[in-house]
């Protein structure tokens, strides 16, 4: 029983880590898009 419980806990941890990575990836993409839009608007203004 203990081994099964530990394995499921490890799996849950893996899922949690993957979710965190996905979230940080989405944040990075948003920052990149915002940076590109910001630079575009400034280059158009000059």
- Pull the structure tokens for residue 22: 């996905």
Question: What pLDDT shows up at residue 44?
Answer: 74
Give the count of domains, the chain: 1
Regions of the chain where pLDDT drops below 70: 1, 45-46
The verdict on pTM exceeding 0.85 is no
Q: Residue 9: which domain range? A: 1-46
Torsion sign (Cα): 26, 28, 30, 33: negative
């Amino acid at each position: 029983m203990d081994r099964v419980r530990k394995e499921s806990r490890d799996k849950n941890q893996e899922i949690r880590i993957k979710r965190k990575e996905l979230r940080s990836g989405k944040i990075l993409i948003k920052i990149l898009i915002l940076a590109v839009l910001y630079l575009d608007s400034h280059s158009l203004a000059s």
